């Protein structure tokens, strides 16, 4: 399981490669805000049957650094390009992004169409954070996190905001991973990530019509901010868009419903190769 650190415009990023056999098509996996590359572990065995997997840990998460300043999803997309160049990927890739990772993939697919063969976004709302969420985060949770770190009630808010009630009730390992990833992150870098790609996120819906790659927009049935109807509407605005729903999940589909998520991804990959 090769791992390396690659210098990019948004800091040194941790990169993990699974299934590195010569000649295999490459899929890039970028995780959600608050968690790290381990949120993909439950789906890696299934997905690596079809692809070489490149797992990028975003700035401010896991062992990755950050640029020491605010940054954007556009810069994250450029950093992903740097990673692919550094590891010698020259062919178009299949991008699979969870929430934040979907934002990065959407930007990359719109601005570098030759780089993305297919795009899957999972639990990825396109609009900015709701005003109430921004205010609560900016005025209460973020200052307390900077002062106290990932203490109980702050960690509880992250868990409740990302996992469905079904997952929280039945899957202590998933809950534990979210808590652990949040607790392990460098406090200053995580705060910077929350501001840079959370509070300051722009509306990405205008990019939909520019994405030429076959795209699958997945959401969880219990996602509070990205309903099945919203996902379907977004897919309809894309030249080659489709949508799907994963039951009993919210934001973190590959962690909450790994079997269903893997089935969606592998079917989509198989269908896309025949287009």
Q: What is the pLDDT of residues 152-171, one digit of tens each?
A: 999 999 999 999 999 999 99
Q: What is the pLDDT of residues 43-74, one digit of tens each?
A: 999 999 999 999 999 999 999 999 999 999 99
Q: Is the pLDDT of residue 273 over 90?
A: no
Q: What is the pLDDT of residues 117-128, one digit of tens each?
A: 999 999 999 999
This model's pTM is above 0.85: yes
Q: Is the pLDDT of residue 1 over 70?
A: no
pLDDT value at residue 22: 72
Confidence class for position 145, pLDDT limits 50, 70, 90:
very high
Q: What percent of the chain has pLDDT over 70?
A: 99
Helix 152-162 / helix 172-184 crossing angle, nearest 10 deg: 120
Q: Is the pLDDT of residue 274 over 60?
A: no
CATH domain 3-272 topology: Rossmann fold (3.40.50)
């Amino acid at each position: 399981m090769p791992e390396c650190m690659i210098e990019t415009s948004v800091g040194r990023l941790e990169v993990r490669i699974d299934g590195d056999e010569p000649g295999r098509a490459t899929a890039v996996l970028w995780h959600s805000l608050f968690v790290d590359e381990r949120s993909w572990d439950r789906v890696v065995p299934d997905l690596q049957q079809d692809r070489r997997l490149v797992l990028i840990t975003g700035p401010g998460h896991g062992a990755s650094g950050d640029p020491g300043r605010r940054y954007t999803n556009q810069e994250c997309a450029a950093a992903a390009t740097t990673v692919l160049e550094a590891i010698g990927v020259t062919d178009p890739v299949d991008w699979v992004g969870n929430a934040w990772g979907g934002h990065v993939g959407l930007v990359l697919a719109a601005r570098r169409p030759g780089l993305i063969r297919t795009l899957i976004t999972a639990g990825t709302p396109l609009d900015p954070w709701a005003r109430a969420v921004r205010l609560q985060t900016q005025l209460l949770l973020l200052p307390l996190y900077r002062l106290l770190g990932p203490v109980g009630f702050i960690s509880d808010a992250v868990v409740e905001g990302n996992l469905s009630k079904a997952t929280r009730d039945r899957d202590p390992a998933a809950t534990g991973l979210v808590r652990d990833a949040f607790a392990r992150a460098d406090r200053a870098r995580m705060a910077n990530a929350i501001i840079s790609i959370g509070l300051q996120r722009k509306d990405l819906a205008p990019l939909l019509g520019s994405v030429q790659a076959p795209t699958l927009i997945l959401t969880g049935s219990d996602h509070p901010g990205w309903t099945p109807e919203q996902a379907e509407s977004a897919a309809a605005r894309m030249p080659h868009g489709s949508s799907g729903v994963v039951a009993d999940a919210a934001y973190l589909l590959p962690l909450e419903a790994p079997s269903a998520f893997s089935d969606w991804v592998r079917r989509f990959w198989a269908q896309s190769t025949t287009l």
